[in-house]
Structure 1
Amino acid sequence: MDEYDTDDYEKASLSLEFESRQKYLDELRKQLDVLNDPINKIGSDILIEQAREWYRIGHTIKGTAPILGMSRMGRVAALFAECWEWSYETNGLAGDEVQNLFQDCYLASRPLLHELEMEFEINSKELLLEQQQAPLKEALPSQLLGSRLLVVDDDRVLRSYLARKLRLEGYNVDEASNVEDAIKLLRENDYQLITLDLMMHPQSGYEIFEVLKEDPMIKWLPMLVLSGRNDMKDVVRCFHMGADDFVTKPFRFEDLSARIKRMLLRHMEFALLAFNDPLTGIHNRRYFDLQLQVEVNRAERYNEPLTLVVIDIDYFKAINDRHGHPAGDFVLQKFGHLLQSCLRNTDILARVGGEEFGVILPGITGIEAERIMNRILQRVRREPIAKHDSFDHYITFSAGVASWKSGKSVQSWFQVADYALYKAKRNGRNRVLRTSYDMARNNLADLKLQAVESKTILVADDDRMLRTMISDQFRKEPYKLLEAQDGETAYRILVEQQPDFCILDCIMPGMSGFEVLERLRMEGTRAAKTQIMLLSGRSSEEDVNRGLELGADAYMFKPFSLIDVEMKVRKMLFAVQSH
């Protein structure tokens, strides 16, 4: 903010502070009138309900008044609420016991109610004379401006106060007064953070935790819990259920604001590390897989079209072989940026494999997606994708397009798009091909038999269970399977039996996967037909580069899906066969 903006901010903040306190006092007057209502003495159930209502009012004042600078009122309200807390633990009490308890608490709470009335009068007069200067607030970081927050609280005054203060700081803020409205908003909008009041009526804030846990669209949202009870059991339970922070009422807004900024910035950094590909800067496979399910849920809910595109750069290995991996990396970066520039903000782009990219197109039919991809392909053909060491790199790509079909699994949807990509490559590459579930289903069985004929796969890993699971994944097809539990055995099989494919773990006893590759390269004993895919438990770009430089054809990180391994192996074998 410049000086003018800062002055405006301070004036607006002062005005909002004054207005919020005035609104709160208006609301407080209504609450005090309820506390002053005459007693209805008809039946113990009626008395319990009356006691509970007085408890809720005292509890609400205790949490909200200090936030607006009325600390003494909050302390008195806490004592008032204590008088009526028994009303939530009435099991086993007889009717006459309830009446006696009510009468005793009524007499004990009257002086406290009188104090609340006095505090109300004092604060009303102070408000008319108040000329305090609001403290200067730090400007909101630019990357957080416009972040969308959801404030969930059944206290209308506090909810409105928090929402307006946060809007003044530069956030977009929505409000919900109950769990049902909050869940509806969460499913209709994209939020970056939720503030949640724990003690709401009739449903508690705990209900939202269950929704967050089960819904992939919102399970990653940061949540800041607000509670009027300083109970360690609540704190522990909230953190176990997924809360990111816990603030007890009353609190200072400046403290809450600082916590929100910190949570948003940390979540942003975490998302960047967890869901972005470090080489290209676009999303990675982990994020893409999550968003596939999110977008399917959205398409099902609103009955909208949804299309998936799988893209593979043609002859990419030749770039690495002729010009080195730095040139290949540069091509991947430039291609990722070009794709991003050609897509809408609502489209989801990710690098899902070595030279493979995925695109999710919400609201787009398969025919429209095919046109979009063909336009991008025409642009790629016209001009070099990158210039590296004074060399212009021209590329083409193949793409498979598949529309979502209701009732199918996300996994089968990706397989259909992958089949379309395979057909595009088989038909000469440099093209976009669209297919359907029915076309893919009718042809996949024949394609599998063609591709796997007499292929031998070596699975080299010291983890016997993992080795068995990977081998079992391929045994249902006519592959010949070989296994090795250490690097020395893997090297001997690679040299003597020359398998078509080797799945090679990086870390093994005797000789690591890297050492196997290095020895094969130094001795020149690797068969030309053998493709090698490294497995690693470390998500390290340095390891990837080292493996590729030593001659690996592909890389996969643990943990992985066995189906992903199968699809990757099939694709690489198909590519060699069709070359």
Structure 2
Amino acid sequence: MDECDIHDYVKASLSLEFESRQQYLDELRQQLDVLNDPTMHIRSDELIEQAREWYRIGHTIKGTAPILGLGRMGRVAALLAECWEWSYETRSLAGNELQGLFQDCYLASRPLLHELELEYEINCKELLLEQKQAPLKEALPSQLLGSRLLVVDDDRVLRSFLARKLRLEGYYVDVASNVEAAIKLLKENDYQLITLDLMMHPQSGYEIFEVLKEDPMIKWLPMLVLSGRNDMKDIVQCFRMGADDFVTKPFRYEELSARIQRMLLRHMEFALLAFNDPLTGIHNRRYFDLQLQVEVNRAQRYNESLTLVVIDIDFFKEVNDRHGHPAGDLVLQKFAHLLQSCLRKTDILARVGGEEFGVIMPGITDLEAEKTMNRILQRVRSEPIAKHDSFDHFITFSAGIASRSTSKSVQNWFQVADYALYKAKRTGRNRVVRTSSGMAQRNLSGLEPQAEEPRTILIADDDRMLRMMIADQFRKEPYKLLEAKDGETAYRILVEQQPDICILDCIMPGMSGFEVLERLRTEGTRAAKTQIMLLSGRSSDEDVHRGLVLGADAYMFKPFSLIDVEMKVNKMLSAVRKTGKIQL
């Protein structure tokens, strides 16, 4: 942002502040007129509702006025809201008691209302005379320009003020005045952050948390909660339900802006670590699996075509064996870059295994995808993919393509694409094969050798991050992965689903790994095929002996290498179960 841009920004920001204050004062005039209504204190049949109206107006002014620079008005409104807060208590009041309490609060509120009237008049005059220069604002970091935010607040003035200020900084901003409208927007658009007013009417902001938690498309969105109540119970509950930050009204806009920037930058850093492959720089399997469901939902909503491509570099092992892993890494990097440059911006590319890549192609048919992949294959054949130690590396690849079928699950769809890749490799590699769901299903069902039922691995550990890392280590193989965060859940899965392998932590909530083994042995409910590897943070011969006596097949101490875990599990899966214990 150059000097000219900064001055334009300051001018627009200053104009917006004046305009927002004028809009707010117009809104305030209407609220004060409601409180000055001479019939308000005599409608005895509606005393509770009248009291709540006083509280709602005081509460709204208290939260919004200071944000627009009207600090004294906010403090007076806070006293007004405090006076009528009893109207939201659950205890019931008798007629005479209610009427007396209302009359006392009404009399106590008259001086406060008079102060608000005076503040209103003073601020109207100051607004006409105010000519101060606003301080220069810092430019928005370039990586945040164009980020899309959703502002959810039932206060029209504050909602408009925040949206317009944020747009001036370079964000795209949508607004919603209630929970229902917010949920609709969340399902229609991609957002990078939400600001949420907690105290809305008729539904509270808590409703949004439930939607975020259940929807894989939006569960990772950063959320900043705004509230007019500095209540510790609200703060704790919001953080437990998934909020990333909590700001109490009134607040200074500069602070809110800084918090939003920091949240967005940290979320970008997290996404880079969690969803990107460090070698190639493209997305990883975790991101690919999440986005696959997102794109399926989108295609179903808009009735659009969606095509999946699975790509495998032919004879890649020979590159590593002949020229070493640095050469193999370079080939993977260059191939990923070539794919990215040949695909559309809307296509989603990920490294889903060692030398295997996946592409989600929205809005095109499998025939169009086949033409694209054949063009890329022709280019790969015609020139070296990389040069290492003066040696030109030529490669080819095999690809399987499948279009989305509304009658099939995401897992089945991936199997269909995987079958097409299998067919490409069986028929000579160096080719692209497109197959229909029906054809693949018939072949998988018996016309060609059927793939083995995927082995099932249960990962039982109360450390969520460790479960996720171990699961990622096995996603490149066709395993069915199950997870348990406590001993009771692990025991139930072992009995009901009988996995092939269980990676079982010794220390877990409810039941320890040792107690799970003991219960399985005592009740005789362990499946004959299930092999169990215990994990322990203690390097103790006594623990090892206890685990093996109780029926464990292998033992591993933390910290460990994920590659070692994979090797030992694969060895357990390939071993024929014997009466003795497998020594790994």
Given the superposition, is the C-alpha separation of residues 44 and 438 from structure 1 closer, same or farther in structure 2, using an over 3 Å criterion?
A: farther
Equivalent position SS for 1:146: coil
Given the superposition, is the C-alpha separation of residues 119 and 436 from structure 1 closer, same or farther in structure 2, using an over 3 Å criterion?
A: same
Given the superposition, is the C-alpha separation of residues 45 and 174 from structure 1 closer, same or farther in structure 2, using an over 3 Å criterion?
A: farther
- Residue 188 of structure 2 is matched in structure 1 by 188
**CA offset at residue 441 of structure 1?**
1.7
Deviates more, 1:182-191 or 1:123-132: 123-132
Distance in 1 separating the partners of 2:141 and 2:273 = 20
Contact in 2 for aligned 1:311/1:357 (Cα 8 Å): yes
1:468-507 aligned at under 5 Å gives the runs none
- The one-letter code of the counterpart of 1:297 is N
Equivalent position SS for 1:430: coil
**CA offset at residue 271 of structure 1?**
0.1
- Residue 93 of structure 2 is matched in structure 1 by 93
- The one-letter code of the counterpart of 1:323 is H
**CA offset at residue 370 of structure 1?**
1.5
**CA offset at residue 94 of structure 1?**
2.5
Structure 2: unaligned runs, 5 residues or longer: 462-469, 482-499, 505-532, 540-555, 575-584
For residues 522-570 of structure 1, the C-alpha deviation after alignment (integer angstroms, 9 at most, x for no partner) is xxxxxxxxxxxxx999998xx87xx9xxxxxxx9699xxx9xx99x99x
Given the superposition, is the C-alpha separation of residues 202 and 385 from structure 1 closer, same or farther in structure 2, using an over 3 Å criterion?
A: same
1:317-332 aligned at under 5 Å gives the runs 317-332=317-332
- Residue 212 of structure 1 is matched in structure 2 by 212
**CA offset at residue 29 of structure 1?**
0.8
- Residue 149 of structure 1 is matched in structure 2 by 149
Given the superposition, is the C-alpha separation of residues 263 and 377 from structure 1 closer, same or farther in structure 2, using an over 3 Å criterion?
A: same
- Residue 396 of structure 2 is matched in structure 1 by 396
Contact in 2 for aligned 1:402/1:413 (Cα 8 Å): yes
Distance in 2 separating the partners of 1:233 and 1:484 = 38
Distance in 1 separating the partners of 2:294 and 2:479 = 31
Equivalent position SS for 2:199: coil
Equivalent position SS for 2:224: strand
Equivalent position SS for 1:240: helix
Contact in 2 for aligned 1:43/1:95 (Cα 8 Å): no
Contact in 2 for aligned 1:67/1:252 (Cα 8 Å): yes
1:421-460 aligned at under 5 Å gives the runs 421-446=421-446, 449=449
**CA offset at residue 41 of structure 1?**
6.2
Given the superposition, is the C-alpha separation of residues 484 and 172 from structure 1 closer, same or farther in structure 2, using an over 3 Å criterion?
A: closer
Contact in 2 for aligned 1:51/1:87 (Cα 8 Å): yes
Distance in 2 separating the partners of 1:420 and 1:438 = 12
Equivalent position SS for 1:183: helix
**CA offset at residue 72 of structure 1?**
0.6
For residues 465-508 of structure 1, the C-alpha deviation after alignment (integer angstroms, 9 at most, x for no partner) is x9xx999979xxxxxx99999xxxxxxxxxxxxxxxxxx99999
- Residue 283 of structure 1 is matched in structure 2 by 283
Distance in 2 separating the partners of 1:472 and 1:300 = 27
**CA offset at residue 91 of structure 1?**
4.0
Distance in 2 separating the partners of 1:537 and 1:440 = 43
For residues 1-21 of structure 1, the C-alpha deviation after alignment (integer angstroms, 9 at most, x for no partner) is 222222222222211111111
Contact in 1 for aligned 2:535/2:557 (Cα 8 Å): yes
- Residue 416 of structure 2 is matched in structure 1 by 416
Equivalent position SS for 2:345: coil
**CA offset at residue 378 of structure 1?**
1.5
1:294-333 aligned at under 5 Å gives the runs 294-333=294-333
- Residue 373 of structure 1 is matched in structure 2 by 373
Equivalent position SS for 1:200: coil
**CA offset at residue 39 of structure 1?**
2.7
Contact in 1 for aligned 2:537/2:558 (Cα 8 Å): no
- The one-letter code of the counterpart of 1:145 is L
- Residue 68 of structure 2 is matched in structure 1 by 68
**CA offset at residue 408 of structure 1?**
2.1
Distance in 1 separating the partners of 2:100 and 2:323 = 91
- The one-letter code of the counterpart of 1:21 is R
Give yes or no for the alignment of 1:5 onto 2:12: no
For residues 427-478 of structure 1, the C-alpha deviation after alignment (integer angstroms, 9 at most, x for no partner) is 111111111222122111448857779xxx9x9x9x9xx9xx999979xxxx
Distance in 1 separating the partners of 2:72 and 2:44 = 33
Contact in 2 for aligned 1:44/1:95 (Cα 8 Å): no
- Residue 81 of structure 2 is matched in structure 1 by 81
1:511-550 aligned at under 5 Å gives the runs none
Equivalent position SS for 1:106: helix
- The one-letter code of the counterpart of 2:365 is T
- The one-letter code of the counterpart of 2:374 is N
Structure 1: unaligned runs, 5 residues or longer: 475-480, 486-503, 511-534, 548-554, 570-579
- The one-letter code of the counterpart of 2:238 is C
Equivalent position SS for 2:75: helix
Deviates more, 1:108-117 or 1:290-299: 290-299
**CA offset at residue 133 of structure 1?**
2.2
Deviates more, 1:163-172 or 1:96-105: 96-105
Contact in 1 for aligned 2:503/2:535 (Cα 8 Å): no
Output the TM-score relative to the length of structure 1: 0.79
For residues 171-209 of structure 1, the C-alpha deviation after alignment (integer angstroms, 9 at most, x for no partner) is 111111111111111111111111111111111111111
Give yes or no for the alignment of 1:24 onto 2:2: no
- The one-letter code of the counterpart of 1:273 is L
Equivalent position SS for 2:279: coil
Given the superposition, is the C-alpha separation of residues 109 and 508 from structure 1 closer, same or farther in structure 2, using an over 3 Å criterion?
A: closer
**CA offset at residue 40 of structure 1?**
4.5
1:245-284 aligned at under 5 Å gives the runs 245-284=245-284
Distance in 2 separating the partners of 1:95 and 1:335 = 80
- The one-letter code of the counterpart of 1:185 is L
- The one-letter code of the counterpart of 2:392 is D
Distance in 1 separating the partners of 2:501 and 2:36 = 84
**CA offset at residue 310 of structure 1?**
0.6
- Residue 359 of structure 1 is matched in structure 2 by 359
Equivalent position SS for 2:181: helix
Contact in 2 for aligned 1:194/1:222 (Cα 8 Å): yes
1:29-48 aligned at under 5 Å gives the runs 29-40=29-40, 46-48=46-48
Equivalent position SS for 2:194: strand
Equivalent position SS for 1:133: coil
Deviates more, 1:16-25 or 1:435-444: 435-444
Contact in 1 for aligned 2:537/2:559 (Cα 8 Å): no
**CA offset at residue 45 of structure 1?**
5.3
Give yes or no for the alignment of 1:163 onto 2:194: no
Which aligned segments of 4 or more residues in structure 1 are displaced greater than 6 angstroms? 450-453, 469-474, 481-485, 504-510, 535-540
- The one-letter code of the counterpart of 1:424 is A
- Residue 104 of structure 2 is matched in structure 1 by 104
Distance in 2 separating the partners of 1:222 and 1:370 = 38
Given the superposition, is the C-alpha separation of residues 484 and 308 from structure 1 closer, same or farther in structure 2, using an over 3 Å criterion?
A: closer
- The one-letter code of the counterpart of 2:127 is L
Contact in 1 for aligned 2:503/2:534 (Cα 8 Å): no
Given the superposition, is the C-alpha separation of residues 131 and 219 from structure 1 closer, same or farther in structure 2, using an over 3 Å criterion?
A: same
- Residue 201 of structure 2 is matched in structure 1 by 201
Distance in 2 separating the partners of 1:355 and 1:194 = 37
Equivalent position SS for 1:364: coil
- Residue 222 of structure 1 is matched in structure 2 by 222
- The one-letter code of the counterpart of 2:434 is R
- The one-letter code of the counterpart of 1:236 is V
Distance in 1 separating the partners of 2:95 and 2:344 = 67
Contact in 1 for aligned 2:401/2:432 (Cα 8 Å): yes
Contact in 2 for aligned 1:176/1:182 (Cα 8 Å): yes
- The one-letter code of the counterpart of 1:36 is N
Contact in 2 for aligned 1:216/1:290 (Cα 8 Å): yes
Deviates more, 1:357-366 or 1:274-283: 357-366
Equivalent position SS for 1:225: strand
Distance in 1 separating the partners of 2:566 and 2:10 = 54
- Indicate the percent of aligned positions where both proteins have the same amino acid: 79
- Residue 51 of structure 1 is matched in structure 2 by 51
Contact in 1 for aligned 2:150/2:173 (Cα 8 Å): yes
Give yes or no for the alignment of 1:117 onto 2:117: yes
Contact in 1 for aligned 2:209/2:241 (Cα 8 Å): yes
Given the superposition, is the C-alpha separation of residues 325 and 448 from structure 1 closer, same or farther in structure 2, using an over 3 Å criterion?
A: farther
Equivalent position SS for 1:160: helix
Contact in 2 for aligned 1:44/1:98 (Cα 8 Å): no
Given the superposition, is the C-alpha separation of residues 282 and 536 from structure 1 closer, same or farther in structure 2, using an over 3 Å criterion?
A: farther
Equivalent position SS for 2:372: helix
